[in-house]
Amino acid sequence: MLYDSAMPEKFKIGLIQMSCGADPAANLSKALGRIREAAQKGGQIICLQELFRSQYFCREQNPELFNLAEPIPGPSTEALGKAAKEFGVVIIGSLFERRAAGVYHNTAVVLNADGSLLGMYRKMHIPDDPLYYEKFYFTPGDLGFRSFETSYGHIGVLVCWDQWYPEGARLTSLQGAQVLFYPTAIGWHPREKKEFGAAQLDASRARHRQRRIRRGGESRRL
């Protein structure tokens, strides 16, 4: 897909990072409050962290935690859609999707500024490591790599571990995405930043170089 020159060249992004408790309803309420704050500060496309309705539950293999999952559309997309319409913003939310009996996904949804569910992306790359037992919970996505033409810009959405696989970024960018969003639960304790922070930044810069694409004969970096 060719780059659409009619799309806005600039838009303001709001990135929400918040602590989460054990109550999904309280976490959703907290997220809605953060969305309001971001919108009041001029944010136009607002992205929540990965699986924001709960604490990161993949640290253990516990069948009871499947109760955290919900359908899409569902309660979260309804609440996020109302907020998107009220504040006139685009919202990216990461949810534990219950697609069908026994089929669950780690899914990012995109709510447009009119409150409509513009689309969703199901996480393709699923890690399985100590304290990251995601294959116990999530089926790999089947929607492919997608981009979305929102009210403020053409964006791509992937999720967390997808960032280590540059082909996903390349394919999403080729669909016209101006910015790629990766809701993620990865982080580090403050005392680890000094030791690992520089390496993480170098890896991020390398991924940006890999996302270079050609649009209208001009080489551009995302």
Q: Domain boundaries in the chain?
A: 13-186
Known catalytic residue: 160?
yes
Known catalytic residue: 82?
no
Q: Which residue is catalytic, options 20, 47, 50, 58?
A: 50
Q: Which residue is catalytic, options 30, 58, 97, 123?
A: 123
Q: Model-level pTM? A: 0.84
Those residues of the chain that have pLDDT short of 70 are 1-8, 187-193, 196-222
* Whole-angstrom distance, CA of residue 191 vs CA of residue 189: 5
Task: Tell me the pLDDT tens digit for each residue of 103-146.
Answer: 999 999 999 999 999 999 999 999 998 889 999 999 999 999 99
Residues of the chain with pLDDT > 90, as a percent, come to 77
Task: Tell me the pLDDT tens digit for each residue of 162-175.
Answer: 999 999 999 999 99
One-letter amino acid for residue 189 of the chain: H
Q: Residue 172: is it exposed, middle or buried by C-beta count within 10 angstroms (0-12/13-18/19+)?
A: buried
Tell me, which fold does domain 13-186 have in CATH? Nitrilase/N-carbamoyl-D-aminoacid amidohydrolase (3.60.110)
Known catalytic residue: 20?
no
Identify which of 116, 126, 123 has the alpha carbon closest to the alpha carbon of residue 146: 123
